[in-house]
Structure formats: C-alpha cells, structure tokens
Amino acid sequence: MDRVSNEWVLKQCGLKGNPICQCDEAKCGFVVIMMSVYWMTEAIPLPVTSLLPVVLFPLLGVLGTEEVCIQYLKETNMMFIGGLIVAIAVENCNLHKRIALSIILLTGTSPMRLMFGFMITTMVLSMWISNTATTAMMVPIVQAVLDELKAHNDFENGRRVSQLTTLNTADSDQASGIFDPETRRKSLCRTGDLETMTRPDSETICYYLGIAYASNLGGAGTLTGTGTNLTFKGLWDSLYPHADGVNFASWMLFNVPLMLVNVFASWLWLQFLFMGLFRGKKAKPNFNKDQAMLVKDMVRERVKELGAMSFDEGCTLALFIAVVLLWFFREPEFIPGWADIIHGVRSEEDLWDGGRESERRGMASQPTKVSFHANKNRWITETVDGASYRTERRPEKPAPALLHWKLIHEKVPWGLVLLLGGGFAMAEASKVSGLSHFLGVKLQALEVLPSFAILVIISTATTFLTEVSSNTAVANIVLPVLSEMVSLP
C-alpha cells in the first residue's frame, strides 16, 4: 500500500492529524485496546482479532510488515504445532485410552483410590494432550463406572442388573460405547426425559469436578500442556533475549512438583466435601468390597476389549517417548544437551557456562556434515540394493500411515496458533513503540505496597479476567506490562 493510500485510510479512521495518535505509544495503545476489547468480548472470532496486527501496525507505522509476520511462526508456535500433532497421533490410535485404564487398575478401585486414579490419569494425559480433549475422553469412562456402581444396588434374586451390559448386548456394534459421549447421552435419555432426571449425587459431582480440576492442573506440568505456557515462553524469549531461556526441562523441573501438590490438595478437598473424609463414617458413601471388585472387573473387561497393543500403538508410543526425551534433553541446563552437541562450535568447557542457547548455536562442522551425508547415502544404497533381492517379501499394499494430513488439518486448532502469534506481535510492538515502558512507569505507583500484596492483587485481577476471556488472550495482554513494571529500577 503506497503512502497516499495510507494517509487516506488514516484520515477516514480519524487517526490522521489527531494529536493523540502522533506518538508511537498512542498508536500501539490504540491497537492493544482494540484487540483487548475484541478478545474479551469475542465480538469477532479470536483468530480474526489476532490478525489485526498484520494490518494495523504497518498501517500506523509502529512495525513493518516483515517484523509483524515473523511473530506468527516463531519457534514457540512450531513447538506448539508439533506437540499437537503428537497428541493427535496418540488419540488416533486410542493409546490414551489404554494408558487411562491401566493407571486406573494400578491405583485401585476403592472410592478414595478410584477418585485418585481418575485424577492422576487425567493429570498425566493433560500434560501432553489438550485439557478439553482429555476431559472429553475421561468423562464417558467415569460415567460408565458410576453406572456400574449404581446398577450394583439393583440386585434382583441375586442377579445384577447392569445398564451398560444391556446396552452392549443389545447393540453389538457399539461395543466401545463406553468411550462414546453420544452413546452415553442416548443411554441416559432412554430412562426418561432429561427434564425428569434427578440431581446428580455427591459422588457423581465429586468425580466430575475431580476430572475438570486435574485436567487444568495437569496442563501446567509441561511446556506444551496448554497455550498459555507457550505464550509465556515466547514472551520471555522476546522480552529477555539475553537471559537464560525457558526450555522443556526447566519448565518441568519447576512446575511438575507444584502440579503434583495441587492435584493432591484438590483430591483431599473434594474428598472432604463430597466423600466424608475426616468427617466420620456416616458421611462416607456406601461402598463395599463387591462394588470394588465389580469396578475392577469392568475396567479389566474394557482393557481386554482393546486387545493386545497394535503395531500403530507401539510405534506411536515409541515416537511419543522419543519426542519427550528430545524435548527434555535439548538443553536441560544441568548437563550439555543434544542441541549443544549437534550445533557445538564452542569448546566442551564452554558448554557448561549456562550461556544463551541462541549464542552457542552455529553451523555444524564440515566433517560432521560430510559424515552425515555419506552415511545417509550409504544407507539409501544398501536399502535399495537389499530390496532388489527381496522383492518376493514385499507386501501387496502399503501399510496404513500412523497419521494422515487430513486428520491433522481437522484437529489442530489453527486459530490458537494465530492467537499465539497475535500476542507475540502485540508484545513486540509494545516493546518497540515504548508502550510497555510507559505503562510500567505508571504502575510504579504500586511500589508503596508490599510485594506480596502486589502479587495478590495482580493474581486476583488476572484470575477474574480469565473468567470472561481466553486464558491465552489475557496472558498476551498482562505479561508484557508486568515484565516492564518489574524491570524498572
């Protein structure tokens, strides 16, 4: 867009000649306020709001187009996409269901242990899979267990009446209906209209709340667990380029202990509220050994229905473990990571100085590259030559892929990728224009308060903001301002 067109647009928008919009801080503030309002009210879709910096910042002269667009596909965004693809592969082969049922069997089937097993399972899965997907997968399992427990009380002539068993017998094509939310909804509606359904009992409320709490808490355990974690990493790398970077290992070492403590505390609190913990036997639910064995048999039956681990599950599990190990040991700080070895251009002693990752990256040495290409070509030659002598052993048709692009295209939340990029662009513009510094100076008035009080105020305000807006959007708005406030003398 040429200069004449820019001036015309600015004039029509009321920005041209307006003295309040002559400084870069005001121009950037205008965009930040507009995006904040749109993000919080969702007047337009969040991803669409996230694309406003591509148009407005170059138009107002805050940032160039190249500087803005590069924020939408940074290393953090690619890490997020990679984590989502791995999670989709795990879901596609039903590996997460096998993991969930196995953990439940290990933790036990008494009321307290069963609740703990559900929460631990949800926590572990939500560390790698999105919180929403984890909850959606666990809810039908919990509902099936509750159905069996309630059906156990309906003994007639020594014979158990199980709604789940009846459903699976009548509908053989829905043998895996325990995991299908639509099947569960239909099975509930068969007993009567939704309007006549009774209020869920305390056990049901306890289990469902436990799943929701554990899913949110588990997402904080890993860097790829939820979008806000990667928002923090991207903003940290942008605002503090010379500080030690936030990596997968350092994040887990800091957050996993807190995650475990929070999940255990949530479990205790729910046990106290709904299961009668520390309140005497009268407040505890009626749960005998027969019901515990019933649940264990049901879970074992579901594991048996899954069958032996398939080739797809085995390959996906191996790749998942490999990805996690590569993330963790890329630059763990306490030992030299594989990134230092591959891209090492510094001496072995320098690898221990804790320097910035970007400073010690470099091109691999020429012998290393030559060796790699030589080995690769030799492997290709041996493979082709070897295959020519074993044509009779080739399969008639190719094996199915572990993951198809169509599935990735459908399940990856591309809007969230744009949301991360929009936040990074807004943070970069605030930094370059001086808006973050301006707001940080204004917020220095809070210095009269104790640090603990400031932390409580900011945490409380941010918590209430996330009740009406996206977590990632709030993080994109609040974190740049706070970083500037604490960095001022």
CB burial of residue 184 (10 Å; 0-12, 13-18, 19+): buried
156 and 207 in a single domain? The answer is: yes
In this prediction, residue 38 has a pLDDT band, given cuts at 50, 70 and 90, of confident
334 close to 254: Cβ distance less than 8 angstroms? no
Q: Please give the pLDDT value at position 191.
A: 44
Specify the range with the lowest mean pLDDT, choosing from 280-289, 356-365, 458-467: 356-365
* Whether pLDDT at 301 is above 80: yes
Q: What is the pTM of this model?
A: 0.65
Closest CA to 105 of 346, 359, 295: 295
Is 361 inside a domain boundary? no
43 and 100 in a single domain? The answer is: no
- Locus of tokens 């979008």: 227
128 and 39 in a single domain? The answer is: no
- Residue 200 CA to residue 375 CA, distance in Å, equals 63
Provide the β-strand partners of residue 159. 156
123 and 268 in a single domain? The answer is: yes
- Residue 27 CA to residue 22 CA, distance in Å, equals 7
Q: Which amino acid is present at 231?
A: T
Q: What is the pLDDT of residues 266-289, one digit of tens each?
A: 999 998 888 776 655 555 556 666
Q: Which two tokens stand for residue 386?
A: 């070897």
Q: Could you tell me which residue, 394 or 126, shows the higher pLDDT? A: 126
Task: Give me the mean pLDDT over the 59-74 stretch.
Answer: 89
- Residue 223 CA to residue 249 CA, distance in Å, equals 9
Q: Please give the pLDDT value at position 288.
A: 63
457 close to 212: Cβ distance less than 8 angstroms? no
160 close to 151: Cβ distance less than 8 angstroms? yes
C-alpha angle with apex 193: 189 to 198, nearest 5 degrees?
90
Provide the β-strand partners of residue 160. 155
435 close to 32: Cβ distance less than 8 angstroms? yes
- Residue 482 CA to residue 458 CA, distance in Å, equals 9
Task: Give me the mean pLDDT over the 160-173 stretch.
Answer: 42
Q: What is the pLDDT of residues 302-342, one digit of tens each?
A: 888 888 888 888 888 898 888 888 888 887 767 777 777 77
Task: Give me the mean pLDDT over the 162-170 stretch.
Answer: 42
Is 423 inside a domain boundary? yes
Chain CA centroid to CA 488, Å: 32
Q: Could you tell me which residue, 378 or 285, shows the higher pLDDT? A: 285
119 and 209 in a single domain? The answer is: yes
Provide the β-strand partners of residue 66. none
Is 131 inside a domain boundary? yes
Is 245 inside a domain boundary? yes
Domain, as residue range, for 216? 94-328
**Domains held by the chain: number:** 2
Q: Which two tokens stand for residue 388?
A: 């020519």
Per DSSP, which regions of 209-294 are E strands? none
